Chains A and B, each alone.
Chain A
Amino acid sequence: MAHPLHDAVRGSLDNCVKCTICETYCPVSAATPLFPGPKYVGPQAERFRGEGPSPDDSLTWCSSCGICTHVCPQGVKIAEINSIAKAEMAAERGIPLRDRLIARPTLAGRLGAPVAPLANRLARNRLVRAAVERAVGVHRRAALPTWAGRTFQSRTRLRRQPPGRPGERPAVVYFHGCAANYYETHTAEMAVRVLEMQGLDVIVPRQGCCGLPLQSNGLYPAARHYVRRLAGSLAPYARAGHDIVSTSTSCGLMLKREAREILDMEDDDDLRAVSGRMYDICEYLALMHERGELRTDLLTPLDMEVPYHAPCQLRGHGVGTPAMDLMRLIPGLRPRQVDAVCCGVAGTYGLKREKYDVAMAVGEPVFGQVRESGAELSVCDSETCRWHIAEATGVPSVHPVAMLHRSYGLG
């Protein structure tokens, strides 16, 4: 059997000097002694893994937030090592139905969309949720999104243009991801309007799931299939010179780097073409501002203070916090970055019955600062984090483009 860790990740293992910096930042081991920290289960335990059963199952408590890799001064791919090891262990033990279900947001999205009012009522019903928790293992109080009646794709069919068609204005591709297609369609609409405000045409090609939830639940072959299909539909645009802009920090990161590193897809030409053109929307707008192309002259004052949480997956992009830079351009707006690393949900981790309490403990410093701010809303780039923070605090949470949208007077 080939070793599950491929060279790109395994090569970093020997750089670990056991400084333990990763553990001092790990939000999960800070919240629960069940997880001994990324160094132990990562670079250390990896030396004992090979053929046969995994030596230590404390690894299952890792939420894959990725902070450990982000802070490692030696370039060790700690989170990637742990993701791959977790997938191996899941394969050994069998992946529960629950994980197979929550790993496929397109499935839940498609099922719920046509019957959105009913689906939303059921998802808010305590008895239903208790039954779902017992039957499937999705925690009864975990934040679930609200289905939109019509998908963003169906609302925006007119924008489905072929790549490279000459137009009067430069055209960018909008990659919305599953969340903005089935649930937060308003975020997708605001993103398109804000991009258009900059004098860009926005193309919305047909697109599927990026496979990230499959990857984080250990379903690698299915995840690779999803990545290939999505990269195949976006690559012609990338090759024709269109930049691809995303409102989903985690799905954007999946296409930028994670699929190549964790799923070992470095050789996929379509994916490479897409990675090179992929931008988080705030990163993209901040770069436009750097070039003097952002319409700051049209921003109108918003006199308010808002707490902002930089999600873990945004940190993985390595672009800093462009949302803060953008919000600072809005007259009167006072964004305040939350001083905590993770909200706890980490994609699907916080949905799981056995993980929910840990996820809530991880997020408590974020929730506390949002509540104490007294603000009418909080801001965060990542959708699952927004749902989790809003549910835990009772304060609505919006994507940073919502602040720009509002300041531009678009609604």
Chain B
Amino acid sequence: MTRVAVIGAGLAGLVCALRLAQGGADVTVFSRGTGGLHLTPGMIDVLGYAPERVEAPGETLAGWVAARPEHPYAQLAGAPLEEALDWFRGVAAPLRYGGDLAANMLLPTAAGVARPTAMAPAGMAAGDLRGGRRVVAVGLRALKDFFPAYLADNLRRAALPGGAAVEARHAVATWSPRPGADVQGHYFARALDEPGARAGLAAELRAIVEPGETVLMPAVLGMRASAEAWEDLCERAGAPIAEVPTLPPCIPGMRLNLLLTRALGEAGGRMVVGPEAVGVDGSGGRIDAVRIRDAARVRAVPADHVVLATGGFESGGVELDSYGAVREPALGLPVAGPPGGGRGLGPRHLDEHPLMAAGVRVDDRLRPVDASGAPVWGNLRAAGSIIAGAVPWREKSGEGIAIAAGHRAACTILEDT
């Protein structure tokens, strides 16, 4: 049985590991802590801005990558991306992901921005703003950092295609699983898995909502049984409800993490959370083992293939030192720094920062390459934000790259064995 070590448990690492386990490989995911899905809103962005807002990501991508041969999508757009998203739709069926590459939805953020995204769970897709909508934004009194007045106010000013408009007002519901306390989103979510708890909230919503309105709620409606909780709440409230993702920890990302890690376990994959990958052993251009630092020592874990999915700067997959040098700390791979050299940082926070596109460059089989374009190791692949060339939060491309690269890395390994 082919032994594969996947380093990193974010979206790219989990997608890759699950696809490999389904394909019969013996997979172990090593992750320093829980992966970053907890911090993401659970939407699948493929291409949102290029740099103008993108309406049809599939169509736009073709021309867009032609002009960007260094972008990860140059290896992934087209069939690999489409196959990966079809596979993901199947895997994530319990969360009812809808949408495709034909057209971006415009889903409200907690700041009242219409965010272009390709796929989202049904409970979020219900808030699609294309064509305009009448909404009532409902906050939860005990939940901090979700401001329905702010959301409604900004939505009224949202720029929508074809001059469509949002009619928005706001209200606050007082139901809480822990009366008298500030309550984080995950306590609401776990409580609302229980049908009994949903009755109290639904009664309040029924009193608030007016005919023709969609209720916009913070995305805390259920954790393990979220699709059922959402459907049940819509029915009890007598109105359509759409979830709006909150600040991290973000429940829709946690739901996706739960779904993928559980599916991985059922497919026979292993998760080893805690230790850090600190290098590899190998010879003749192939890796034999990954070096893992556990509680007592560094041990060599034998592997036939390795996938590096440690993320970008935000996850520590790439580091910048005080001299401006960029490095990849886990395996010491060559890093493609900011295009055009220099420190790659703009003068102001929200400016362009070319540095953020730093990462490892890969070939058409997603193998990290050196400056001459040759693979560093014949049996090493990279997936997700560690791949150089993208600025995901500006392009709104992060999940598309993660899923397509994770899936493609797995498929190329399965082809090799």
Contacts and interface: CB of A to CB of B under 8 A. Distances in A.
B33 A256 contact: no
B361 interface: no
B174 interface: no
A162 interface: no
A352 interface: no
Interface stretch (B131-139, B270-278, B399-407): B270-278
Interface size class of B (residues with CB under 8 A): 35 or more
Contact of B274 (A19, A24, A37, A70): A70
B337 interface: no
Given A256-B296, A275-B296, A278-B296, A73 B35 contact: yes
Given A19-B38, A70-B33, A24 B254 contact: yes
B142 to A, nearest CB: 11
Classify the secondary structure of B's interface with A. mixed
Interface string A305-348: 00000000001111111000100000000000101000000000
A321 B268 CA distance: 13
B190 interface: yes
A114 interface: no
Contact of B33 (A21, A33, A325): A21
Interface string B89-114: 00000000000000000000000000
Nearest to B265: A337
A190 interface: no
A20 B272 CA distance: 21
Interface stretch (B51-59, B67-75, B178-186, B363-371): B178-186
Contact of A318 (B35, B254, B274): B274
Contacts of A256: 295-296
A71 B33 contact: yes
Contact of A73 (B33, B178, B292): B33
A19 B33 CA distance: 12
A320 B33 contact: no
A71 B270 contact: no
Interface string A271-290: 00001101000000000001
A70 B38 CA distance: 15
Interface in A192-229: none
Given A23-B249, A276-B297, 17 more contacts: A19-B39, A19-B249, A23-B184, A33-B181, A71-B273, A72-B34, A74-B316, A75-B276, A253-B295, A275-B297, A276-B296, A315-B274, A317-B274, A317-B294, A319-B272, A319-B275, A320-B28
List the 6 shortest-distance A-B pairs measured between CB atoms, nearest first: A73-B33, A318-B294, A318-B275, A320-B272, A256-B296, A318-B274
